Amino acid sequence: AAPASAGTVSAPADTVFKANGNPIITHKYTADPAALVHDGKVYLYAGHDEAPLDFHFYRMNEWLVFSSPDMENWTEHPVPLKPSDFKWAKGDAWAAEVTEKDGKFYWYVTVTHDDTKPGKAIGVAVAESPIGPFKDARGSALITNDMTTGTSIDWDDIDPTVFIDDDGQAYLFWGNTKAYYAKLKDNMVELDGPIKTIDNLPHFTEAPFVHKHKGNYYLSYAYQFPEKTAYAMSKSIEGPWEYKGILNELAGNSNTNHQAIIDFKGKTYFIYHTGGIQPNGGSFRRSVAIDEIFYNPDETMKRVVMTTE
């Protein structure tokens, strides 16, 4: 059954719970997972889906953070970040990604810009700890709609993901309909050079995610709509990217699919969301799920077998 408290309360302090299969969180709706491994723990970041049953779009007013030493016992920490923490934004805690550099934690987020710029924008917050408190690191958006001209829509600048290569160079990837990327300066809060596009990803919709395994780069993304997850591989972070196929099928009754891939204690995990909690789950009341993912001998990835299949 749907949790009575879903979408209504924020944890005032740490809350401890045990995951019992998928979805892993059942006391509130969670979407667009991002994950970070730090100091022996997994930190899971998610948007809080708060849409009431009669509201047929995303209602997302805060991001959430959870941590676990074993992917089974979880702690929910107090709400670490809201769109209202960005003075130049007017709402919408859409998809985000967190990374660590030189002992600081940077959280790249999608929000709706205030009326001085059209549509969605990307901001970055910083903290000394993976659970916050996070604060706006710039005082202005990092990416705004007028910086990219690839599409006619004003929500093409969404879904940031950040990847730091072995040489310390950080890259921001993002996009809806078009996939964009740019280098970040060492300070992690300014672009370093031009915004480029990746034009050969079949049916790219949104939600890019980059990881590296045994010298290969993997770019996974939401494919078509309703969304599956597909992926491409490259020998260089600058491409060319070679399409490799579907990584995850449609995620239950959610139109969107949004992934993070992490290695933790000897296993590789595919973290995503589904329309999971019934009867009221769905595209606007999603839930984070976690399944293992495996590589083939040639380092391509096997399709995820969702617990629900």
Among the listed residues 43, 58, 174, 269, the single contact to ligand FUB using CB under 6 A: 58
Catalytic annotation, pick one of 49, 50, 76, 156: 49
Q: Burial letters for 235-273: b for 16+ Cβ neighbours within 10 Å, e otherwise?
A: eebebebeeeeebbebbbebebbbbbbbebeeeebbbbb
Number of residues lying near ligand FUB (CB under 6 A): 13
Q: Per rule CB under 6 A, is residue 51 in the interface with ligand FUB?
A: no
Q: Per rule CB under 6 A, is residue 81 in the interface with ligand FUB?
A: no
Q: Per rule CB under 6 A, is residue 47 in the interface with ligand FUB?
A: yes
Among the listed residues 256, 259, 274, 287, the single contact to ligand FUB using CB under 6 A: 256
Cis amide prior to 133 (ω within 30 degrees): yes
Among the listed residues 29, 66, 74, 94, the single contact to ligand FUB using CB under 6 A: 94
Question: Between 117 and 265, whose beta carbon lies closer to ligand FUB?
Answer: 117
- φ, ψ of residue 255 to 5 degrees: the values are -65, -30
206 is catalytic: yes
Question: Between 110 and 220, whose beta carbon lies closer to ligand FUB?
Answer: 110
Q: Per rule CB under 6 A, is residue 68 in the interface with ligand FUB?
A: no
* Cβ 207 to ligand FUB shortest distance, Å: 4
Q: Per rule CB under 6 A, is residue 158 in the interface with ligand FUB?
A: yes
Question: Between 255 and 308, whose beta carbon lies closer to ligand FUB?
Answer: 255
- Residues 30/273, Cβ–Cβ less than 8 Å: yes
Which DSSP symbol is given to 79?
Answer: P
Question: Between 101 and 144, whose beta carbon lies closer to ligand FUB?
Answer: 144
Give CA–CA dist 7/29, Å, rounded.
7
Among the listed residues 26, 32, 108, 113, the single contact to ligand FUB using CB under 6 A: 32
* Cβ 141 to ligand FUB shortest distance, Å: 15
- Picking from 7, 94, 112, the residue whose alpha carbon sits closest to that of residue 55 is 7
Q: Per-residue contact track with ligand FUB, 178 to 207, x per CB under 6 A?
A: ----------------------------xx
Q: Per rule CB under 6 A, is residue 283 in the interface with ligand FUB?
A: no
Counting every residue written for the chain, the total comes to 309
Q: Per rule CB under 6 A, is residue 95 in the interface with ligand FUB?
A: yes
Among the listed residues 110, 220, 248, 274, the single contact to ligand FUB using CB under 6 A: 110
Catalytic annotation, pick one of 85, 136, 156, 206: 206
Q: Per rule CB under 6 A, is residue 159 in the interface with ligand FUB?
A: yes
- Picking from 144, 148, 161, 100, the residue whose alpha carbon sits closest to that of residue 126 is 100
Give CA–CA dist 182/203, Å, rounded.
21
Q: Per rule CB under 6 A, is residue 210 in the interface with ligand FUB?
A: no
Q: Burial letters for 47-66: b for 16+ Cβ neighbours within 10 Å, e otherwise?
A: bbbbbeeeeeebbbbbbbbb
Cis amide prior to 240 (ω within 30 degrees): yes
Q: Is 9 exposed, middle or buried (0-12, 13-18, 19+ CB in 10 A)?
A: exposed
Element (H, E) at 65: strand 63-68
Place of tokens 């009867």: 279
49 is catalytic: yes
Q: Interface with ligand FUB by CB under 6 A: which residues?
A: 31-32, 47, 58, 94-95, 110, 158-159, 206-207, 256, 258
Active site residues: 49, 206
